[in-house]
């Protein structure tokens, strides 16, 4: 079984049963069921004694495994209003921009998912999304450099480029890809592991989703960049494009609550697949005499 907190834990196991022997047959096991077992394998010995004082024994291992751990724990989510958590449904109405509560943004959902799985560790996912930001702006690289150079983070989750695509200009998009390249180099030079995500799809018909046909070629360049730089690519686009009605809001651009949850899951799977450390598990029962479990 798995310890919920990386500490010794109470273990319940089935009662031992006997075969043959002169009744009544008494059975005792050490350590007993409901005992506190430490992390690792503990051998339980069960001894049966029949009415003629004959004995038989069996042993089996109870293995308590530590919860899984993750090799990095301090993450910063870097991006634009998608990361910040602007609500694509609320944005379809006239009025001020509406942002989801922190817990419903993708970084907030991701932090809960990581904390739930890696319970023995303190996990941080810092949301550093800025609405309206473009990769091609020099201020963006400066902001990025300040974050990855702060010493506060182990990994940076990059999902940005929607505002560059919005311009629908090849030179701006080329500048955005070049900016991403510099940011990846900056992160790695400071010992921060970068994860580079494709940007979510846009939906034709939304009042802000009119650059939808520029998104796929931009993402192709993102994938090519990740491959050439040897960094992990997080396939947000491929996952969300399967159901844009559910994941993209009425404005055709921003994520719905379900969209944020799905982006969080895509990042979660990427982090789990590249950073998780699983404990070993062993089970080796042996038996002798007339006792069986």
Q: How far apart are CA 106 and CA 76, in angstroms?
A: 12
- State both tokens at 251: 């404005």
Same domain as 148, residue 21? no
Same domain as 144, residue 88? yes
3-class DSSP assignment, residue 14: coil
Least confident of 11-15, 161-165, 186-190, 287-291: 287-291
Same domain as 31, residue 93? no
In-domain check, residue 3: no
In-domain check, residue 1: no
Pairing of strands 193-197, 155-159: parallel
Same domain as 125, residue 37? no
Same domain as 122, residue 47? no
Mean pLDDT, the chain, whole residue set: 90
* CATH number, position 249: 3.40.50.1110
In-domain check, residue 182: yes
**Predicted pLDDT of residue 93:** 58
Q: How far apart are CA 73 and CA 111, in angstroms?
A: 10
Mean pLDDT for the stretch of residues 261-279: 94
Q: Put the strands of the sheet holding 74-79 in their side by side order.
A: 124-129, 74-79, 155-159, 193-197, 232-234
Same domain as 191, residue 122? yes
Same domain as 158, residue 27? no
C-beta neighbour count of 31 within 10 angstroms:
15
Same domain as 73, residue 24? no
In-domain check, residue 23: yes
* Number of domains observed in the structure of the chain: 2
pTM of the predicted model as reported, rounded to 2 decimal places: 0.80
* Cβ contact 201:215 at 8 Å: yes
Longest Cα separation, the chain: 93
Of 186, 250, 244, 194, the C-alpha closest to 215 is: 244
Same domain as 52, residue 193? no
96 confidence band (pLDDT: 50, 70, 90): low
In-domain check, residue 2: no
pLDDT tens, position by position, 129-179: 999 999 999 999 999 999 999 999 999 999 999 999 998 888 999 999 999
Residue 36 lies in domain: 9-67+279-292
In-domain check, residue 4: no
Same domain as 242, residue 104? yes
Same domain as 209, residue 142? yes
Same domain as 73, residue 61? no
């Amino acid at each position: 079984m798995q310890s919920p907190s990386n500490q010794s834990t109470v273990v319940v196991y089935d009662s031992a049963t006997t075969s043959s022997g002169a009744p009544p047959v008494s059975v005792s096991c050490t350590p007993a069921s409901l005992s506190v077992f430490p992390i690792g394998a503990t051998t339980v010995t069960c001894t049966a004694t029949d009415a003629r004082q004959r004995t038989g024994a069996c042993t089996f291992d109870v293995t308590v495994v530590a919860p899984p751990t993750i090799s990095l724990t301090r993450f910063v989510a870097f991006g634009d209003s998608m990361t910040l958590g602007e609500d694509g449904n609320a944005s379809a109405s006239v009025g001020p921009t509406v942002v989801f509560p922190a817990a419903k943004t993708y970084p907030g959902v991701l932090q809960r998912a990581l904390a739930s799985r890696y319970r023995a560790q303190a996990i941080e996912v810092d949301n550093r999304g800025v609405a309206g930001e473009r990769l091609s702006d020099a201020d963006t690289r400066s902001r990025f450099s300040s974050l990855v150079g702060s010493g506060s983070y182990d990994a940076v989750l990059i999902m940005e480029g929607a505002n560059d695509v919005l311009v629908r200009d090849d030179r701006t998009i080329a500048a955005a890809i070049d900016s991403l390249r510099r940011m990846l180099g900056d992160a790695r030079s400071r010992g921060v592991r970068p994860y580079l995500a494709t940007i979510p799809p846009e939906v034709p018909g939304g009042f802000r989703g009119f650059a939808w046909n520029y998104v796929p070629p931009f993402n192709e360049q993102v994938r090519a960049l990740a491959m050439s730089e040897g960094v992990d690519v997080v396939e947000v686009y491929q996952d969300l494009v399967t159901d844009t009605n559910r994941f993209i809001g009425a404005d055709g651009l921003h994520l719905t609550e379900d969209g944020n949850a799905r982006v969080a899951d895509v990042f979660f799977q990427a982090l789990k697949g590249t950073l998780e450390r699983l404990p070993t598990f062993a089970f080796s029962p042996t038996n002798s005499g007339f006792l069986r479990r």
